[in-house]
Amino acid sequence: MKIYIQILFVLFFSFSSVSKAESNWTENVSFASKSEASTLLKKEDEYTKRLSQFDIQSRLHNQAGSKNELLNLMVAQTKDWTPDEIQLINKTNKEINGLIKQNGFHFTLPKIVFIKSTMQTEGGAEGYTRENLIVLKDELVSKDNKELKHLLIHELFHILTRYNPNLRAELYSVIGFHLMNDIALPSPLKDNLISNPDAPFDDSYIKLKVADQTIDGLMILFANKPYQKGTFFDYINIGFVKLKGEGKNKEVDLSDKNQPIIYSLDEVSGFFEQIGFNTQYIIDPEEVLAENFVYAMMNKKDLPNPEIINKIINVLQNKPIKK
């Protein structure tokens, strides 16, 4: 399981005032200069508000690291775009926009700002999003068109769900997740969370079986001990925090020792039956759906669970989901 989780995390890191436009991002994008990127990345948002102490320490490789140090390092890693890179991304965006129209998908998008970075603080990620920003690694010109298109469609999905909350709820339901109130996790767990800028909220749950009991579980990625040294690969765990409460009003169900009850992937059943087997990128429902969205956009065939793709297509075409 340890090796498997490490592979998943490698995948995880391999992968304002806003005017909205209907399903078109080719004419509504801009490319930030290094100076502009510095201002945008330092702006407080849901991701930076929620950075855990482990996030800060592990990204800086420093137990005494601070949030300001991390933000300054993020800014220091930004670069100016070259004309060739802008041309390549614009060309790929036009192809993606053609796929959106071809598939008959309907959703609104904000003005999207592309930022170029070395991505060292994000473990060498190829891309991630924050608000209406898409941050991309500074090696894009070496990517073939298919690989870049996959990456941009994946990142587009995170913008789509962030700015279309009703669609987000419908899409999450496709893989068995339900939206709820944003959960406040207690210490020390919250101090050891491993945050995902693409999915900063703890506001969805999935029904799972633990022995003969059905639980509502909040999916989290967390470190199993406080940061000391080395990389986060030595600390990674996927877990499901047991919740209590009716409907969308949930809270953490505490043990007799007043601590959250967390189940591992090995301890639950019914998870893969709901999210399917189309992707191994299973660290968060947002990432599971982003990969399936790529497959829907690119009309990928021979998947283990084509019904998930069909349901995503129906949601984005504003058609009822067939149960």
Give the integer Cα–Cα distance in Å for 46 and 194. Answer: 14
Q: What is the reported pLDDT for 21?
A: 55
DSSP one-letter string for 235-290: TEEEEEEEEESSTT--EEPB-TTS-B-EEEGGG-BSSHHHH-SS-S--SSHHHHHH
Residues 6+ apart with CB under 8 A from 82: 141
- Tell me the per-residue pLDDT of 239-265, one tens digit each, with 9 for 90 and over: 999 999 999 999 999 999 999 999 999
Q: What is the reported pLDDT for 226?
A: 85
> How far from 298 is each of 34, 103, 154, 188, CA to CA, in Å?
33, 9, 11, 42
- Tell me the per-residue pLDDT of 28-60, one tens digit each, with 9 for 90 and over: 899 999 999 999 999 999 999 999 999 999 999
Closest-CA residue to 178 (of 141, 213, 218): 218
17-20, long-range: CB < 8 A, 24+ apart: 18/110, 18/111, 18/132, 18/163, 19/110, 19/111, 20/108, 20/109, 20/110, 20/163
pLDDT at 163 over 60: yes
Q: What is the mean pLDDT of residues 87-115?
A: 94
Q: What is the reported pLDDT for 18?
A: 47
- Reduced to 3 states (helix: H, G, I; strand: E, B; else coil), residue 115 is strand
Give the integer Cα–Cα distance in Å for 318 and 107. Answer: 9
Q: What is the reported pLDDT for 17?
A: 39
Closest-CA residue to 114 (of 127, 105, 98): 127
pLDDT at 156 over 50: yes
Single-letter residue type at 62? N
| DSSP-assigned letter for residue 183 | P
Q: What is the mean pLDDT of residues 127-151?
A: 90
Q: What is the reported pLDDT for 145?
A: 79
CB 182 within 8 A of CB 165: no
Mean pLDDT over all residues of the chain?
91
Q: What is the reported pLDDT for 225?
A: 86
